[in-house]
Amino acid sequence: MAEIKKNILATLAYFDVFNYPLTREEIGLFLPVKCDPIAFDMAMTCLVGCRLIYRFDRFYTLKNDPYLIKRRNDGNQKAAEMIKTARKVGNILIRFPYVRGIAISGSLSKNFADAESDIDLFIVTAPNRMWVARTLMHLLKKLTFLVNREHYFCMNYYIDEQQLEIAEKNIYTATEVVTLIPIQGDTTFADFFTANAWTRNYLPNHIMRVSTAKPLSKRPLKSLVEWLLNNRLGELLDNKLMRITASRWEQKTREKRLNDHGMLLAMATGKHYAKPDPKNFQINLISRYETRIAQLLVENQHSVAN
């Protein structure tokens, strides 16, 4: 029982970093271990009774703050509308050469959005043409400033089918992977989730979603462009675009330029990936999470143990 309590507190502590309360079903889904349902219910009842966690309607949180529930409900409602828009954006972006899969990521994939939220997208491309695809897609994004939509959606994480496994393996990346909402490329994401089965070591109760994605359709113009670049010229172009983009991002980092959320601009780049630099966010978040767990267990060791 003590271990189950610790795991429940750990689950709530992770989402507490984001001020996001969970339902009973969600706590079970994000538990780091499998456990007996009856023992889980008993532990939940005990933790609420000891006021280690707080229940408001169908939500549970570490903070005795009912405003968090209103915040979540409002965020869920806004997210539902933004997800509809994200699907429309995905219907456009999947037409670009070498794009094989698109998923919703970030806070929106957890069904939450607020006034500062944008649409974060996770993109999978064909092998060895990721930089061609990314450049073409970002040219379109640059044009969206004409209709004041430049920051409306963000294609902030790219990988290609040659390297589907996520390199960083921790509670943060596991949560991000399993909560992705695929919207285009069903077979691509089936392969992606298979390549990232390591997430079960962190979240063994979570079933990753593939059925939400549409299958790829044949598009003559897309096929023609790919045929024209499936050669040595296409390889040289892809490598050149990678070097140009990496150089520009290194300069932004050296100049300590910040994004719209006040975070240092930095990107990790390679032949098969382009992603936010994990050193600028993941380490800090995981440190806050681990500190929160340690604090909870020290302050409430007697209640947890009994």
Tell me which of 34-48, 143-157, 176-190 is least confident: 143-157
> What is the reported pTM?
0.90
Contact 145, 124 (CB under 8 A): no
pLDDT at 143: 80
Interior CA angle at 275 toward 272 and 276, to 5°?
160
Burial annotation 5-16 (CB, 10 A radius, 16+ → b, else e) = bbbbbbbbbbbb
Does 109 score more than 90 pLDDT? yes
Helices (H), 115-231: 130-143, 171-178, 186-195, 220-229
According to the per-residue pLDDT averaged within each range, which of 50-64, 204-218, 240-254 is highest? 50-64
Mean pLDDT value across the chain: 89
pLDDT at 304: 64
What are the pLDDT digits (tens) for 148-166?
666 568 888 999 999 999 9
pLDDT at 146: 56
What are the pLDDT digits (tens) for 238-288?
999 999 999 988 887 777 776 666 566 677 899 999 987 756 678 888 888
Does 121 score more than 80 pLDDT? yes
Does 188 score more than 80 pLDDT? yes
Contact 27, 11 (CB under 8 A): yes
Q: Which of 152, 214, 169 is nearest to 188 (CA)?
A: 214
Joined tokens for residue 51: 């006021």
Do β-strands 54-56 and 22-23 pair in parallel, antiparallel, or remain unpaired? unpaired
Q: Is 81 helix (H, G, I), strand (E, B) or coil?
A: helix
Q: Which of 108, 266, 130, 86 is nearest to 176 (CA)?
A: 108
Q: In which band, very low, low, confident or very high, does the pLDDT at 297 lie, cut at 50, 70 and 90?
A: confident
CA 46 – CA 172 distance, rounded (Å): 28
pLDDT at 262: 59
> What is the DSSP annotation of 223-274?
HHHHHHHSSHHHHHHHHHHHHHHHHHHHHHHHTT-B-TTSPBP-EEEETTEE
pLDDT at 15: 95
